[in-house]
A = this chain, B = another copy of it.
């Protein structure tokens, strides 16, 4: 992990290395459990270097959240501006989620920790950020249900259920691994779960009464 530390071949700026290391450490241990020394070690520097680039642990954490949420925003934006209708759009969004979370496993665990906290460190900002996206989604669902392209369900509660299911799969992956013995983040297992969720949602949402 630190084998490349001495090679000066631009192994990304050390600021970025630190950000990446911090993301992993915060995901593994949460804000309180995370140690600056551990982050520094992961990044291949000494811990005062962290405090040179980011003024404090708190600000480093904020920087991590912002980078992580920023990435997510971009991909989600893309997934909802496809012009698809009915269940196809729902499926596209779920699929985008799966693909993003698959590549950003730490993201989920950090966000979830924030969500649990409640009085959390960045909860308010994150809510601010998610709200417009959620409202968009609810508007879309309502429209499609009115138009008969989706069966009628409470849109907000539907979003909550989908969010809960998808998020949990990733945030609790290690627990599931312990339970079933196989790695849930393995591509095969992931596809199986995605297919199962899609089928479930399809069965509940698609207007046609297919098998």
> Are B33 and A157 within 8 A (Cβ)?
no
A51 within 8 A of B: no
Chain B residues with CB below 8 A from A157, complex form: 192-193, 196-197
Bitwise, A116-160 to B at CB < 8 A (1) or not (0) is 111110011011001100100000000000000001011011101
Neighbouring B residues of A197 by C-beta, 8 Å: 157, 161
Closest to A124 in B: B178
- Verify A178–B123 contact, CB threshold 8 A: yes
Residues B116 and A179 in contact, CB atoms below 8 Å apart:
no
Most buried by B among A29, A116, A119, A160: A116
Size range of the chain A interface in the assembly = 35 or more
Residue from the list B31, B134, B178 in contact with A179, Cβ < 8 A = B134
Tell me if A164 is interfacial: C-beta within 8 Å of chain B.
Answer: yes
Q: A196: which B residues are within 8 A, CB to CB?
A: 153-154, 157-158, 161
Q: Is A85 an interface residue (CB 8 A)?
A: no
Could you say which of B116, B130, B161, B179 contacts A109, with CB atoms under 8 Å apart?
B116
Q: Residues on A close to B: CB < 8 A? A: 28-33, 109, 112-120, 123-124, 126-127, 130-131, 134, 151, 153-154, 156-158, 160-161, 163-169, 171-176, 178-180, 192-193, 196-197, 199-201, 203-205, 209
